[in-house]
Amino acid sequence: MKVTKFGGSSLANGDQIRKVFQIIKADPRRKIVVVSAFGKQYPTDVKVTDLLISYYLDYKNKKNIKKIQEKLVTRFSCVLQELDLKEMTSVITDKIKNLTELSLENAYVYDQFLSLGETCSALILTAFFNKNGLTASFVSPKEAGILVEGDSAQATLLPQANQKIRLLSKRREILIIPGFFGITQKDEVCTFSRGGSDITGAIIAAGLNAELYENFTDVDGIYAANPNQIESPVIIEEITYREMRELATLGFNVIHHEALIPVERACVPMVLKNTNHPELNGTKIVSRWTIDMPLVGVSSSKGYDLLKVNKYMRNRTASVIRSCFEILEQLNISVEAMTTGIDDFTILIKHNPLSEQNEKRLIETIQERLDPDEVRFTKHLAIISAVGEEMRQQTHITSRATKALAQKKIKIETLLQGSSEVSLLFVVAEHQENKAVRTLYAEFFD
Ligand SMILES: Nc1ncnc2c1ncn2[C@@H]1O[C@H](COP(=O)(O)OP(=O)(O)O)[C@@H](O)[C@H]1O
Ligand SMILES: N[C@@H](CC(=O)OP(=O)(O)O)C(=O)O
């Protein structure tokens, strides 16, 4: 049995939903369908999830909600008309309007607003399938057993969820499940982080030990670089879960990085395919690949700061690094990566625009408690990540990459190797991010 997830781009309008129907109809092993909220129909369009966020904010701030309600109702009515399902308009309209009956005191009210996008997609798809001859049932995340914990919009799966998820295999008809959220033990709707329908698909595929987790989107596969940075990059035929996790964490937002963990643990192979060209192979995500390539992809992410602390004979004073971590913890700053030298250490931090105040306190406290020779804080940095399992064997990759960057006059602030040994991270100035990606792509793929 296959678990098949469709992203918002595959559900943006009636035509796209018809393609989804054909894809499911074409393969009887596609028994479980996980859906996102309707996505963008054209680049300047607004995703349903983003409309729901605006709706929540207007409701919370006691603004006039009529306009945003109208936008949402129109968005759904148009699709329902295209699909010849006008009889569902009142059901969906009521669901949209009833959101304003929720108490703002509830810690998960934001999640209730957001989750409606996925719930409506699944209800509409179920009605469309049944009307067109494919027997399907709507299965809510509660009924499916997606039991989660966590604060609002930060759901994580509880291990006991798998017992109930497994029972879904007994059902004979096609099951259509809204992605992006689960249910807490206190029966509250709690969403995953943005893009989290990928996580739902992975959880269900792993829980059912599916033969394949298919993730349908709007590109022919995973490219070796973000297509928004490189024009027509090559498509990766096969990639390991570990490589994909490294790339997804830093810039390849085509798959949510948290979606890779459940399928990797359960050894469920995954494939990313295009809803608009389902006949193409797409990209397979597997435990081991068979194709020899020095690198599989180059990704990047901006918005990092680097803290450099220099203290003579640091390596003889065990407490220096510990004290620095304590200060970071007190200021609620989490560490992305670090390097150490005899007299110094460097810590990479995700920049938080809301805590500029913390930066000042961080430097002052380090000066007070660590008595360093020098403390430097460099802002506006980007991480460029070059990823490939072959990196473990091929030492020349580092020298090729640094040489290529130097030739283009790109200054490497710091160079880190992920402890997974499948990634090399180059920290560069933010304004050199795209140039650095283009340079490494040209070196290894052109
Ligand atoms: N390396 C990559 N390969 C393919 N697509 C990528 C990559 N990096 C970023 N993307 C972007 O991811 C998009 C698909 O993800 P997303 O918009 O979340 O789709 P969906 O709505 O189907 O979930 C692509 O249209 C592309 O712009
Ligand atoms: N609709 C949610 C969840 C999701 O996964 O969407 P998509 O599959 O379109 O990235 C979001 O926009 O975050």
Q: Which residue bears the tokens 């498509």?
A: 235
ipTM greater than 0.85: yes
- pLDDT score for 176: 98
Q: Is residue 411 situated within a structural domain?
A: yes
pLDDT in tens, 322-332: 999 999 999 88
7 appears as a binding residue in the annotation: yes
218 appears as a binding residue in the annotation: yes
- pLDDT score for 95: 98
8 appears as a binding residue in the annotation: yes
Report the atom number in ligand 1 closest to the C-alpha of 223: 3
Q: Would the pLDDT of 388 be above 80?
A: yes
pLDDT in tens, 174-228: 999 999 999 999 999 999 999 999 999 999 999 999 999 999 999 999 999 999 9
Pair 204, 318 in one domain: no
Q: Would the pLDDT of 290 be above 70?
A: no
- pLDDT score for 354: 62
Domain range enclosing 359:
297-445
CATH number of domain containing 110 = 3.40.1160.10
Ligand nearest to the CA of 9: 1
What single-letter DSSP state applies at residue 236? Answer: P
Pair 7, 119 in one domain: yes
Pair 15, 116 in one domain: yes
Pair 305, 333 in one domain: yes
> Is residue 39 in contact with ligand 2, taking CB distance under 6 Å?
yes
What single-letter DSSP state applies at residue 277? Answer: B
- pLDDT score for 237: 95
pLDDT in tens, 305-364: 999 999 987 777 778 899 999 999 998 888 888 888 889 999 999 887 666 778 888 999
Report the atom number in ligand 2 closest to the C-alpha of 180: 3
DSSP alpha helix (H) spans, 27-108: 48-60, 66-82, 89-98
Pair 215, 344 in one domain: no
> Which stretch of 3-12, 218-227, 292-301, 401-410 has the lowest confidence by average pLDDT?
292-301
Global confidence as pTM: 0.94
Q: Would the pLDDT of 26 be above 90?
A: yes
Most ligand 2 atoms within 8 A of CB, residue of 194, 219, 254, 273 to mutate: 194
Q: Is residue 292 situated within a structural domain?
A: no
Task: Choose the final residue of a domain: 248, 265, 286.
Answer: 286
- pLDDT score for 288: 82
Structure-token pair, residue 266: 């359960």
- pLDDT score for 430: 97
